[in-house]
Amino acid sequence: MKIALVSPYDFAFPGGVTVHIEQLAQEFSRQGHEAWIIAPSSQPANEVSFDRFVRLGVPVPVPAGGSVARLSLSPWLLRNVRELLERERFDVVHVHEPLTPLLPWLVLHSSKTINVGTFHAYHGRSHIYPWAAPPLRHWFKKLHGRIAVSPLAKMFVERHFPADYRVIPNGIDIGRYHDGVEPFPQFLDGKVNILFVGRMEKRKGLKYLLMAYGRLKWQFPNLRLLVVGPGTPDKDSYRVLGEHSLGDVEFLGGVSQEDLVRFYRTADIFCSPATGKESFGIVLLEAMASGTPIVASRLEGFATVMEDGMQGLMAAPKDDEALADALQRMIQDPTMRSAMGAFGERRAYEFRWERVAGQVLEYYEFVREEAERNRPATAAV
């Protein structure tokens, strides 16, 4: 099968949707299918690791849902999109976040094959969909099939775009997190390493983790906090650092996928203090696949991935005291950490890409059969 995977987001910038698409394409290729990735990129196509990558558009930053989306907003790409689709004749065009401007709209406008959309986002109460839903329905109707990565993502989109959705979760490349991955030796000095992974955005909750760390550092001087992710911490985070004179906090910036896996292996505890708007929690899966126990905010999206008391502990969001209590329990009980890490590895195996990609391919076939059944019969001559 020849499959086009389309993203509205800058493919050179790390993010959950980008990782999802790249790893899904890799698994399709391993299973013998011809997968292409079509996306805007701030880097030239020849600098992207995936072989069949088509760069369409240069992204610009656009504030969206408490984050910053890097999108291509150029309507002049329409001709390029048409030429690509006509030349390659894909069996399935799979558009991720299909209602996000502008590349998904141009692709759906031009596509003459089976169109499938995957909805990743959850923003709680949408301020955009109520007024944008009428014009967006034009693009929505061009989808033959619809996937949501979690029940929460499904609930969010179907509130304004009611239809049949298939829930198929994000996947994890289990093979990357094997036991042979080497931790970073400079951090194996007897200190307890707490790891944060995420973009430097307020909704990722780094401020609350720093506040919790400040509560614990004086009681447990052998703590270290490793902060991995692109961007610059916000003013509140800097204020907490200064007010508490926090030591042993390492800001490591954005890292490669290979180094990210090593940081998960280096960590004794992974912490995700996100404040909301998380539909799934891919970072939790990454930690689990590494056998690293978790402390995370008690969010509906996170609860689809982990169970409180099994793969880790959950605490109320935006509550640094509750977060510190959960971290303290982890710090003081290495046996519990080890058991939760083992539970996490078993849980992550359920989300391996081999299984998830199989569910997506099965859904493609279902959609194609439905489209054939619903196609109007050719009038007799």
pLDDT in tens, 55-87: 999 999 887 656 778 899 999 999 999 999 999
Q: Note whether residue 380 is domain-resident.
A: no
Verify that 162 and 291 share a domain, yes or no: no
Verify that 183 and 119 share a domain, yes or no: no
Verify that 6 and 103 share a domain, yes or no: yes
Q: Note whether residue 379 is domain-resident.
A: no
Cα(55)–Cα(39) distance, rounded to whole angstroms? 5
Read off the pTM: 0.88
Verify that 247 and 132 share a domain, yes or no: no
Residue 377: pLDDT above 80?
A: no
Name the residue with higher pLDDT: 178 or 237: 237
CA atoms lying within 13 Å on the CB side of residue 227: 23
Q: Note whether residue 100 is domain-resident.
A: yes
β-pairing verdict for 312-315 and 114-119: unpaired
Verify that 121 and 242 share a domain, yes or no: no
Verify that 20 and 94 share a domain, yes or no: yes
The pLDDT, as a whole number, for residue 130 is: 61
The pLDDT, as a whole number, for residue 63 is: 77
Q: Note whether residue 58 is domain-resident.
A: yes
Q: Note whether residue 120 is domain-resident.
A: yes
Number of domains in the chain: 2
Q: Note whether residue 225 is domain-resident.
A: yes
Residue 381: pLDDT above 50?
A: no
Cα(39)–Cα(8) distance, rounded to whole angstroms? 6
Beta-carbon contacts of residue 150 (< 8 Å; ≥ 6 apart): 122, 167, 169, 279, 280, 301, 304
Q: In terms of residue numbers, what domain contains 326? A: 175-349
Q: Note whether residue 233 is domain-resident.
A: yes
Verify that 312 and 241 share a domain, yes or no: yes
Whether the CB-CB separation of 99 and 126 falls below 8 Å is answered with: no
Verify that 44 and 188 share a domain, yes or no: no
Name the residue with higher pLDDT: 165 or 176: 165
| Residue 238: C-alpha distances to residues 92, 172, 232, 233, 241 (Å) | 47, 33, 10, 7, 5
Whether the CB-CB separation of 147 and 123 falls below 8 Å is answered with: no
Is the peptide bond between 102 and the residue preceding it cis, with omega within 30 degrees of 0?
A: yes
Verify that 238 and 329 share a domain, yes or no: yes
Q: Residue with structure tokens 């609350």?
A: 208
Query: What CATH number is given to the structural domain containing 51?
Result: 3.40.50.2000
Q: Note whether residue 381 is domain-resident.
A: no
For the beta carbon of residue 317, count every other beta carbon within 10 angstroms. Answer: 20
The pLDDT, as a whole number, for residue 380 is: 42
Residue 310: pLDDT above 80?
A: yes
**Helix, strand, coil percentages in the chain from 3-state DSSP, rounded to 5:** 45, 20, 35
Verify that 98 and 242 share a domain, yes or no: no
pLDDT in tens, 182-227: 999 999 999 999 999 998 888 899 999 999 999 999 999 999 999 9
Verify that 369 and 257 share a domain, yes or no: no
Verify that 208 and 343 share a domain, yes or no: yes
Cα(359)–Cα(148) distance, rounded to whole angstroms? 12
pLDDT in tens, 111-131: 999 999 999 987 655 555 566
For the beta carbon of residue 24, count every other beta carbon within 10 angstroms. Answer: 23
Average pLDDT, the chain: 92
Strand, coil or helix: 248: coil
